[in-house]
Amino acid sequence: MTDETIGFVGLGIMGAPMAKNLLDAGYTVVGHNRSQEPVDEHVAAGGEAAATPKEAAERADVVIMCLPDSDVVTEVMRADDGVLAGLSGGEIVVDNSTISPTVTEELAEEVRERGANMLDAPISGGETGAIEGTLSIMVGGDEGVLAEVRPILSAMGETVTHCGGNGAGQVTKACNQIVVAGSMVAISEALVFAHKADADLQAVVDAISGGAAGCWALDNRAPDMIRGDFDPGFFASYQYKDLRIATDAGEAYGSPMPQTELAHELYKAMEQTGRGMDDNSGVMQIIEDLAGTEARVDE
């Protein structure tokens, strides 16, 4: 079933390799991007070009968006030359962006009013996952609609999980970020403390990784953290934005999240101290600022 035409809006760091994987899978992909260069590269890779999101939607059976935030997605959907204006009925809009669950619920309703369907389908796995087609895709919306586009999503990601109705994909992505941030902050507090108490930081990491404290961040980030290597990875700025989505949604759904609110404040400090382009594990530096020390192994 690669005879569908896919409109792809947002050919950025994530979107461009995802569109490329769809081309490689044999789909016709009509790409649009605010700036022109990524569109030219998409065409050079065998894709087609659309001048506006509306045109991409008009020519497509399935419209994929991969955009930075709620405001941009809302603008790209609702503008006069936007996606909604290009829908004639029967299309499926798939939003791979990470945005507010409540905003995506509103947009899904507006898509339904046009006789089409929408899925929120935020992704995790980073640029590497986008390039290698190994993303994890968390989907909210109708299960039957997901079944129709599952082959398309499977061309971009390794794991495609249906998490509930419209918004549930974004809720799941927020849950992901809540847990990631909780572990980043915990590891930061632990390692700065261990350094102050004169323990061997690498030994601490080794000793606790195999048991109940074991986690991805301890395996994949802690060894770099204690060497002061905060190269991204996943930008602290993005984590900050994603935690704001989580805490705003916590407000909207009436779910208290004291630890996540605290993490949000610490990532706000990352932004304010000019460290937004560090990896999100770089939040250790905020704990270090508070402790008046740097927790580093001697090498």
Could you tell me if 16 and 66 are in contact, meaning their C-beta atoms sit under 8 angstroms apart?
no
CB atoms within 10 A of CB 290: 12
Nearer to its own copies, 74 or 239 (CB): 239
Q: Is 173 a catalytic residue?
A: yes
Q: Determine the Cα–Cα distance for residues 59 and 7; give it in Å rounded to an integer.
A: 7
CB of 152 to its own copies, least distance (A): 18
- Using N-to-C axis directions, what is the helix angle for 168-196 and 258-272, rounded to 10°? 70
Calculate the dihedral angle through the C-alpha atoms of 196, 199, 203, 207, rounding to the nearest 10 degrees.
-90
Which of 18, 19, 65, 218 binds its own copies (CB under 8 A)? It is: 218
Q: Which of 20, 54, 173, 241 is catalytic?
A: 173
Determine if 144 is a binding residue for its own copies (CB under 8 A): no
Q: Spell out, one character per residue from 21 to 60, where the chain touches its own copies: x when CB under 8 A holds, - when not.
A: ----------------------------------------
Q: What is the DSSP string of 121-173?
A: --EESHHHHHHHT-EEEEEES-HHHHHHHHHHHHTTEEEEEEEESTTHHHHHH
Nearer to its own copies, 26 or 214 (CB): 214
Q: Number of residues in contact with its own copies, rule: CB under 8 A? A: 74
Determine if 223 is a binding residue for its own copies (CB under 8 A): no
Handedness of CA 235, 241, 242, 243 (dihedral sign): positive
Determine if 154 is a binding residue for its own copies (CB under 8 A): no
Q: Spell out, one character per residue from 231 to 270, where the chain touches its own copies: x when CB under 8 A holds, - when not.
A: ---x-----------x--xx--xxxxxxxx-xx--x----
Q: Which residue, among 263, 276, 297, has the nearest Cα to 192 in the 3D structure? A: 297
Which of 21, 98, 172, 285 binds its own copies (CB under 8 A)? It is: 172
CB of 138 to its own copies, least distance (A): 5
Residues with active-site annotation: 173
